[in-house]
Amino acid sequence: RTVYVNGEYLPEHEAKVSIFDRAFLMADGVYEVTSVLDGKLIDFAGHAARLERSLKELDMRAPCDTDTLLEVHRELVRLNGIEEGLVYLQVTRGAPGDRDFVFPDPETTEPTLVLFTQNKPGLADSPAAKTGMRIISIEDQRWGRRDIKTVQLLYPSMGKMMAKKAGADDAWMVEDGFVTEGTSNNAYIVKGNKIITRALSNDILHGITRAAVLRFAREAQMEVEERNFSIEEAQAADEAFVTSASAFVMPVVEIDGVAVGAGTPGHRAVRLREIYLDESRKAAV
Ligand code: PMP
């Protein structure tokens, strides 16, 4: 695999980052994951805009402009022959010469920019989309700025492990009695013609797929209600699903052992997945 590090395209075993890099020592970095379909990038503009916001919120310097980032994404997709898969991008505050809690001077410490691709043939035609996911609920024990897409992913990773141990596919996190989001996706329930999902705040990541799917839902004459919901309400809903750049729209068929609706993928979730894939392919760059 050819990867990108600070201006260079390299074989992955030649790519190096300092042990003093702030992401390695302090999780002081942000990331984006953009999917690739038909060799093209899905919603690159959305991911670039969110990256800019994450950097700004953390007072971190951008490593380059958006046009350059687009070029690097495209070049990596080309060099690695990706038809379906993902591009991972990470920006860190860089590597000052020592470990210190205080941010280094941005004039002297360059941000670190790393990108690599993940080849995932069959991503859009995933069998999981046909069977649906079984999820468990867990307490949300993350920090309070989940709107910033940092590489601080230990708790979500632990959540996936809790799900795996319980024989489930993923976990939804719950805070003060309400679902925040999935470990790596936004969470939704469907009641009648209404798509219900938590409103944007610092409590959840502002999903790029979420924004697109809510727009498509409205265009397809579904109602959208942005509000909190509990696990109990979700278990009693007609349908449930999640969205993310890597899973698109994925039906949820079971929550904490209770079947949602008929216990099979709901027709609105399936329809939204089709619309999302069709429209995203058309708009890909
Ligand atoms: N919430 C969390 C916690 C996530 O990690 C992700 C995926 N990065 C999402 C939501 C979905 O965001 P997006 O649609 O931009 O991939």
Nearest alpha carbon, ligand 1 atom 12: 207
Name the band, by pLDDT with cuts 50, 70 and 90, for residue 104.
very high
Structure tokens at 41: 């990038």
Q: What is the ipTM of this complex?
A: 0.99
Residue 62 has a pLDDT of: 95
| 149 classed as catalytic | yes
Nearest alpha carbon, ligand 1 atom 9: 185
Structure tokens at 276: 């999302």
CA 226 to chain centre: 19
Which of 185, 249, 273 should be mutated for ligand 1, with most atoms under 8 A from CB?
Answer: 185
Structure tokens at 212: 């697109």
How many angstroms does the Cα of residue 33 sit away from the middle of ligand 1? Answer: 9
Q: Top-level CATH class of 2-119? A: alpha beta
> Could you give the CA distance from residue 117 to residue 125 in angstroms, rounded to a whole number?
19
pLDDT tens-digit map of 175-209: 999 999 999 999 999 999 999 999 999 999 999 99
CA–CA distances in Å: residue 245 to residues 6, 188, 190, 255: 24, 15, 20, 22
Is residue 173 within 8 A of residue 140, CB to CB? The reply is yes
Q: Top-level CATH class of 128-283? A: alpha beta
Name the band, by pLDDT with cuts 50, 70 and 90, for residue 150.
very high
Give one DSSP letter per residue of 160-182, joined into a string.
HHHHHHTT-SEEEEEETTEEEEE
Residue 269 has a pLDDT of: 98
> Could you give the CA distance from residue 126 to residue 243 in angstroms, rounded to a whole number?
14
Query: Which regions of the chain does DSSP assign to beta strands (E)?
Result: 2-5, 8-11, 29-37, 40-41, 85-92, 112-119, 133-139, 170-175, 178-182, 186-191, 194-197, 223-226, 239-244, 248-255, 258-259
pLDDT tens-digit map of 62-83: 999 999 999 999 999 999 999 9
Structure tokens at 26: 């302090």
Q: Is 249 in the pocket of ligand 1 (CB under 6 A)?
A: no
Query: Domain boundaries in the chain?
Result: 2-119, 128-283
Rounded mean pLDDT, 27-33: 98
